[in-house]
Amino acid sequence: MGRWLFRAFPGAFDGSPSGRVPAGTERPSGATGIFPAGGPGPRRLHGTLPEREPVNVKPNDSVSRAAWRKLVDRLAREVGFDLVAVTDAAEFVADRAIALRRIDEGMMDGLPWFTKSRVRRGTSPEELLPGARSIICLGLNYYPDSEDSETPGAGRVARYARGRDYHRLMKRRMRRLVIALSEHPLLQDADTNIGARWFVDDGPMLDRAAAGRAGLGWFGKNGNVLNPSFGSWLLLGQIITDLDLTPDAPLSKNCGQCTRCMPACPTDAIVAPYVVDNRRCISYLTIEHKGTIPRELREGMGNWVFGCDICQEVCPVNRKAKAADDSNFGRRDLSALDLIELLEMTEADFRRRFAGTPIMRAKWTGMQRNACVALGNVGDTSAVPALARAVSVSGGLPPLVRQHAAWALGRIGGPEARAALDSARETEQDESALCEIRQALAR
């Protein structure tokens, strides 16, 4: 869940293990996979809904429903998921209302793909899969097997992004689960095929809403889904199906009087319990936001260059979280990035270094911008030469990067930084970059 994260309301944002923003490429498309009922077999996967009404598999007694449910649990774990829970396919009426209200309040500004029509569609399982009866909610633990010790002066990356792109990983596993179900003798004996459609956080489903209703976890005041065993270090996925499965009940748990996550947020993004202003969230600023980062938020970003885990790190529930037993996560070479190297790498170097990871979502220019902000906050004068090259027009970097390099130089200060700013002012033609240079010189 990112978790992308913007945690703007319980369950009403697309998927968020803390510190992450959804990293899909084409947001409006929504679907991640379809398995049409009534088709010739499990290998026919399409990108649009089947035209014919899915043929429902309807176990008629509690024993057969229980057998189906037990099978789903077993197969989900066999394909690599840590948690599985089921809810019905009723509309998410309350979550829809909250999501639409947050859009009206402007808290989702900067996410042009997060529209009211998308919310309405994503809260209507029947619209996503005609004949839907159940939603299988899945959780994948990504918590590293060792304590996260911050490296002074290095760029920090949210834990979920320190490995393979989870979108592909989750979709492959959900596809394997659907195929395993479709080929099982229980389904073959029913003489029909399964109708299913699966999603991760680049689709329209409100994944935390589904996870909460299914009892996968409860909502924390930072907007994350918290599980008793894994805390909030979970990636979420959903399979909408026409199978009639026994649903789970929501957990009767909450955070009580604990509010540790709220004052811990350095940009004050958690404006009320369960309400996060997306526009102030470090995850949004470092990943989804493509323009100039507001000056008043830069210092609070610290040395985070991709996502943020702070509201998870302070959460008491996460102290007892189980470590992930999955080699796809926890790459140590991605936990602490050399900021000067990040600023000065070419686009080709960037692609080679981060290919196949969620970090690609921020793009080369975005990560250079983030490196500038982090270098300014670290305040090490050894970064001045690299920032001086970055702020100069002759360095060939985009105006967006030059703007933030100017801010970093002004924050570090000293005669060398000032000389670099004076020199850059003489040749800068971009008004936004020039404004940043003047502001930095005025510090």
Residues involved in catalysis: 201
Structure tokens at 347: 């686009």
DSSP 319-346: GGPPPP--TTB--GGGTEE-HHHHHH--
Query: In 248-342, where do the E strands start and end?
Result: 270-272, 275-276, 304-306, 336-337
Q: What angle do CA 111, 115, 120 make, to 5 degrees?
A: 140
Give Cβ neighbours of residue 354 (< 8 Å, ≥ 6 apart).
360
Is residue 120 classed as helix, strand or coil in its secondary structure?
A: helix
Structure tokens at 395: 């360095």
Which amino acid is present at 381? T
Distance CA 22, CA 358 (A): 9
Distance CA 207, CA 221 (A): 17
Q: Name the one residue in this structure whose structure tokens are 């906050």.
A: 377
Burial of 70 (0-12, 13-18, 19+ CB in 10 A): exposed
CA 38 to chain centre: 34
Distance CA 105, CA 123 (A): 19
Distance CA 385, CA 253 (A): 53
Q: What's the DSSP call for residue 288?
A: I
